[in-house]
């Protein structure tokens, strides 16, 4: 029986899930794999408030240094999130010759390259399956299952909070504010949900996926990011009538030596597999060559889902113990230097455009005239029945157009006296 001793830093939602998972599945893991995980110590800054019978046999502390310095501990499980002090914990653990398991997307996205080099230098590994899509094994899929393939593109619903909000707005007719309040009540959104609804949570995850799928470390600053706060129920209704759904997608594509990466609300056909992913579930659609398209879906958030990914990482450590960090494709510290980013201005997509305009003769010709000046082709348009002296939505679907030209056209449209609010533009994709 192989015994691996653990130190857990962070006894919040995911940390408590890991403890429960280890307790509930300990016999199975021992019988099936011949491995016994022993949780020796737990560190949490509020540990006095969290003591319960499930952790009575562990040493408890508020000082993470005690775990890192303990020669009996083989693996540090870091579940506190953020960059500081998580970076210090991980670096010191590696230097003390301990493997690290983390669910920290911000840390890996921001400092992954440096941390992987640190792991190489110290002959240890970093595992981070739960940093993206929690227990859904996208990281292992990219680094093991399809590693011989070329990834041409990926499209992911990788933030459960936003997916829940958009689902409630679509299915129940809720306003954004109502859906967000429900998400908080059910524990699907943090008390401060800013990183979710502004798209940054998905952006951190996309940066990790681009590195693993396309071999390029990119800064989150290079990823065009938009949240969902500006999505109105009117847009959801119009999308429904057009046979489309609105989802917050994380998108990456490779064009020769260029990579594009972006996170934003996206219209996709209702018959696409991503369109039916509702609630807090996550999913990712990956275009590969020569394998073809693959699709993974499941619970992308939650206590036991994230804990499942952590346990998977621990088993990987046990099975691969003694392997050099350079043999772990998830820990590569170098990238493909000649790959470059394609900036958002140069990206071509189709657009849904909604313009609230005064309903009078000649308005449509003014709008289409400005779009024509910027060489933006119109695929279709819809205008509600005339109701003189009121404002009505003019809905247009464009042909593929460069982002920069669309933005310039929208700025010009906004200045028209007949346009009464800022035009709304949502990109369209058909993965």
Residue 116 burial by Cβ neighbours in a 10 Å radius (0-12, 13-18, 19+): buried
DSSP 8-state symbol, 274: G
Task: Indicate which residue of 205, 216, 247, 350 is catalytic.
Answer: 205
DSSP conformation letters of 339-397: -EEPPGGG-EEEEEEEEEEE-STTHHHHHHHHHHHTT--EEEEEEPPP-TTSEEEEEEE
Strand partners, 36: 3
Q: Which of 148, 147, 93 is nearest to 125 (CA)?
A: 93
Residue 164 burial by Cβ neighbours in a 10 Å radius (0-12, 13-18, 19+): buried
The Cα–Cα gap between 74 and 64 comes to 14
**Rounded alpha-carbon distances, angstroms, from residue 333 to 114, 203, 221, 326, 330:** 7, 20, 20, 8, 9
The Cα–Cα gap between 239 and 395 comes to 10
Strand order in the sheet with 59-61: 59-61, 35-43, 2-9, 75-78, 99-102, 126-127
Peptide bond into 85 cis (omega under 30): yes
| First-residue to last-residue Cα distance in the chain | 47
Of how many residues is the chain composed?
Answer: 431
Identify the sign of the CA torsion 311, 312, 317, 320. Answer: positive
The dihedrals phi and psi of 135, each to the nearest 5 degrees, come to -85, -10
- 205 as an active site residue: the answer is yes
Residues labelled as active-site residues: 205
């Amino acid at each position: 029986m192989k015994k691996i001793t653990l130190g857990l830093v962070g006894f919040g939602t995911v940390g408590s899930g890991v403890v429960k998972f280890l307790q509930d599945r300990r016999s199975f893991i021992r019988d099936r794999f011949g491995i016994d995980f022993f949780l020796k110590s737990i560190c949490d800054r509020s540990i006095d408030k969290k003591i319960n019978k499930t952790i009575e046999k562990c040493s408890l502390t508020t000082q993470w240094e005690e775990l890192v310095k303990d020669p009996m501990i083989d693996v540090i499980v870091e579940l506190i999130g953020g960059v500081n002090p998580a970076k210090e914990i991980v670096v010191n653990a590696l230097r003390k010759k301990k493997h690290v398991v983390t669910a920290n997307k911000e840390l890996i996205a921001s400092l992954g390259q440096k941390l992987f080099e640190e792991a190489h230098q110290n002959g240890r590994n970093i595992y981070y399956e739960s940093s993206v899509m929690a227990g859904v094994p996208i990281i292992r899929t990219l680094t093991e299952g399809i590693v011989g393939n070329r990834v041409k593109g990926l499209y992911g619903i990788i933030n459960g909070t936003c997916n829940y909000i958009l689902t409630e707005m679509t299915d129940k007719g809720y306003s954004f504010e109502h859906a967000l309040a429900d998400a908080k009540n059910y524990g699907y959104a943090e008390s401060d949900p800013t990183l979710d609804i502004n798209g940054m949570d998905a952006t951190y995850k996309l940066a990790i996926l681009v590195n693993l799928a396309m071999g390029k470390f990119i800064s989150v600053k290079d990823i065009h990011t938009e949240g969902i706060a500006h999505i109105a129920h009117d847009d959801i209704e119009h999308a429904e009538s057009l046979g489309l759904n609105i989802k917050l997608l994380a998108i990456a594509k490779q064009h020769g030596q260029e990579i594009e990466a972006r996170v934003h609300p996206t219209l996709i056909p209702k018959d696409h597999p991503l369109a039916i992913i509702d609630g807090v579930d996550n999913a990712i659609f990956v275009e590969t060559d020569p394998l073809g398209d693959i699709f993974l879906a499941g619970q992308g958030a939650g206590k036991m889902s994230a804990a499942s990914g952590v346990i998977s990482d621990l088993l990987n450590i046990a099975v691969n113990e003694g392997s050099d960090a350079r043999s772990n494709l998830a820990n590569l510290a170098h990238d493909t230097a000649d790959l470059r980013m394609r900036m958002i201005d140069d990206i071509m997509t189709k657009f849904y455009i909604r313009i609230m305009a005064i309903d009078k003769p000649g308005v449509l010709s003014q709008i289409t005239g400005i779009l024509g000046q910027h060489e933006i082709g119109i695929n279709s348009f819809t205008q509600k029945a005339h109701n003189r002296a009121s404002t009505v939505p003019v809905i247009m679907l464009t042909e593929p157009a460069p982002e920069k030209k669309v933005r310039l056209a929208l700025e010009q449209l906004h200045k028209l006296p007949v346009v009464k609010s800022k035009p709304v533009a949502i990109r369209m994709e058909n993965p």
